Structure 1
Amino acid sequence: MENLILSVNVILPLFFTMSLGYIIKRIGMFNDITLKTMNSLTFKVFLPSLLFYNIYKTDLKTVLNLKLMLFAVTCIISIFLLLCFLIPFIEKDNKNKAVLIQAIFRSNFVIFGIPVTVSLFNQDATGVASMLIAVVIPTFNILSVIGFEIFRGSSINFKNIAKGVVSNPLIIASAVGVSFLALNVQLPTAVDKTISDLSKIATPLAILLLGGSFEFKASTKYLKQLVLGVLGRLIIVPSIFLPIAISIGFRNVELACFLVAVASPTAVSSFTMAEQMDANSELAGQLVVFTSGLSVITVFLWIFILKQLCYI
């Protein structure tokens, strides 16, 4: 019963915040322009502040887990390559292929990673989660661009990929955080407090905006793709890679961080990338909505199972 209550308490705050965002949008306090602007602000200011501050404030010797980081990146690349091979046998429309691949391999770890692990292990988890985000995000970005380029039939522009990676605010924030931590740079108290305050806004606002972006339309139009995407992202991928992580020996904070990396819903940014890469952005948006909504149930179940088995 204790594990059940803990699992519920981890997920319910996320569900309530997403629900509030959805309600606010429905009653007209959000509109599409507001959501777009606030999402951009969150991505460019608040989330980078959160990542930077969490890395900056951690004990590098304690949280720098190269084994976990390498394992996570290897798993992501493996999922991507496997999907690039399998999806063309299932989906014939090129505009849908890359969208499905991205939806299944690219999780919303940047938004869900820290709140879930902190709920399980308090603030001790922020450093590990932030370090993992620092390597997972560029991996997601690079592979997503490659996938879209492959299935729209154009040659891969490595210059654009590199530009996209080095200009990503989350990657910049992570790199600066690691640099400051490694060089033992001490921020002035006022600057430290400002970044700390900004970082506290990131998670609740990002999840609130995620709820506000929910649009339950066109679901019957893409029923097959939605079923495949939801099952792949929330059930199949974690079912394959969590046992591997456990067999390797990951436990507690490490396993919890990895759990969120492989079991959280499809990244919100996948919709934007689908738009930019001339893919089926409508399907991409629906996959974000349905994986996000259903992840409240599936992530709860994954946490409960791992708690019951005493792995986290």
Structure 2
Amino acid sequence: MLAIFLQTLNITAPVFAMLFLGALLKRVGWIDDNFIRTASALVFNVCMPSLLFLGIYHADLHAALKPGLLIYFIVATLLGFAMAWGMAIWRCPEADRGVYTQGAFRGNNGIIGLALAGSMYGDYGISLGSILAGLVIVMYNSLSVVVLAIYSPNIKSDPWSICKSVIANPLILSVLLATPITWLQVPLPNWALTSADYLAQMTLPLALIGIGGSLSLVALRSSGRMALSASLVKVVWLPVIGTLGAILVGFRGAELGILFLYIGAPSASVSYVMVRASGGNYQLAAAIIVMTTLAAAVTTNIGIFLLQWGGLI
């Protein structure tokens, strides 16, 4: 358990370091709001799509296809999305409901979830986690575009406009492009892969510096109650309900463990980028990311301990 705790800390501590760096750089005037807006647009349109493309391109899609697991995760994600949206309607003013919903259901599986799956289960965890990650990317981005469009002042919310927003989303396009290339094992030139890797490596630092630069104590206090509510949904209620459901339908071992890690992952940093691009309350999005990332370092270890203590994983 100490090793798992240290692994979780090794993943979350650099995240907070970059958040604090962004806050410090904004404080001393080395970055400003114009830089943050430009960096967020670069992450959303170029860097993150490169990261997702390479993540799928290097995964072994043939090794870990588990139809039952994929079906359960789809159902759990849709129910979690519905629960988060219902809580948003109950707890939030209308303008913030899309931001709350995305923060409460969308997990950081491409970074934290997959890393922990590999740490616990080795190559099998990476293979199975990568399959889930491809599914996660399409579902999370599609559902996020829908709910943000409904409440965003900058995005049309009629069905055709929402459909176009989903199809034109750079993150989804990168997944749709990478999947057939990976499945058919189409070789790509090394120079193209290296160039894409340069862009991919910029993703997390730029996104987190932007989030840190957008944080302020005043904003954190003003959105604290909503951010706390969304954080509890993300790292407490959804993993408890989703994991209990998985136990009841018969999942055990690595499959149950990876489901728990994915459902209980903290809110994804890309949710901030999407909120910023849609003109939503990006300070609320940033507060949710900070709270869930901090809380997940505790809740993940508690969940793993309980599942191991019960002999389930």
TM bucket (normalised to shorter chain) is 0.7 to 0.9
2:60 paired residue number: 59
Cα distance change, pair 213–73 in 1 and its aligned pair in 2 (3 A): farther
1:109 paired residue number: 109
1:246 paired residue number: 247
Are the counterparts in 2 of residues 96 and 279 from structure 1 also a CA contact under 8 Å? yes
Q: Does 1:7 align with 2:4?
A: yes
Task: Give 5+ residue unaligned stretches, structure 1.
Answer: none
1:75, distance to aligned residue in structure 2 (A): 1.3
1:136 paired residue number: 136
Cα distance change, pair 18–36 in 1 and its aligned pair in 2 (3 A): farther
Cα distance change, pair 182–18 in 1 and its aligned pair in 2 (3 A): closer
Q: Does 1:187 align with 2:188?
A: yes
Are the counterparts in 1 of residues 47 and 199 from structure 2 also a CA contact under 8 Å? yes
Distance 1:167 1:152 in 2: 17
Distance 2:86 2:64 in 1: 35
What's the CA shift string for 1:211-248, capped at 9, x where partnerless?
A: 66654443333343233112111101111011112333
Task: Give 5+ residue unaligned stretches, structure 2.
Answer: none
Distance 1:84 1:23 in 2: 30
Cα distance change, pair 68–204 in 1 and its aligned pair in 2 (3 A): farther
1:190-209 mapped onto 2 (5 Å cutoff): 191=192
**Which range moved further: 203-212 or 129-138?**
203-212
Pairs aligned (count) = 308
1:286, distance to aligned residue in structure 2 (A): 1.8
1:199, distance to aligned residue in structure 2 (A): 5.5
* One-letter amino acid of the counterpart of residue 301, structure 1: I
1:45, distance to aligned residue in structure 2 (A): 4.6
2:77 paired residue number: 76
* One-letter amino acid of the counterpart of residue 5, structure 2: V
Distance 1:135 1:47 in 2: 16
1:279, distance to aligned residue in structure 2 (A): 4.3
Secondary structure of the residue aligned to 1:28 is helix
Alignment RMSD: 3.4
1:270 paired residue number: 271
Distance 2:77 2:227 in 1: 21
Q: Does 1:171 align with 2:168?
A: no
2:91 paired residue number: 91
Distance 1:119 1:204 in 2: 22
2:260 paired residue number: 259
Distance 1:43 1:152 in 2: 17
Cα distance change, pair 215–127 in 1 and its aligned pair in 2 (3 A): farther
What's the CA shift string for 1:48-106, capped at 9, x where partnerless?
A: 44433343344333222232222222112112223444543x32621233332222122
What's the CA shift string for 1:238-286, capped at 9, x where partnerless?
A: 1101111233333444334422332122233333444455544332332
Cα distance change, pair 244–41 in 1 and its aligned pair in 2 (3 A): same
Secondary structure of the residue aligned to 2:63 is helix
Distance 1:203 1:174 in 2: 18
Q: Does 1:296 align with 2:306?
A: no
Are the counterparts in 1 of residues 265 and 296 from structure 2 also a CA contact under 8 Å? yes
1:309 paired residue number: 310
Are the counterparts in 1 of residues 12 and 293 from structure 2 also a CA contact under 8 Å? no
Distance 1:63 1:198 in 2: 28
Cα distance change, pair 111–45 in 1 and its aligned pair in 2 (3 A): farther
2:16 paired residue number: 19
Secondary structure of the residue aligned to 1:250 is coil
1:122 paired residue number: 122
What's the CA shift string for 1:147-190, capped at 9, x where partnerless?
A: 34545799832333333333333323322332123223233455
> Normalized against structure 2, the TM-score is what?
0.80
1:295, distance to aligned residue in structure 2 (A): 2.1
Distance 2:306 2:229 in 1: 23
1:194, distance to aligned residue in structure 2 (A): 5.6
Secondary structure of the residue aligned to 1:249 is coil
1:28 paired residue number: 25
1:8, distance to aligned residue in structure 2 (A): 1.2
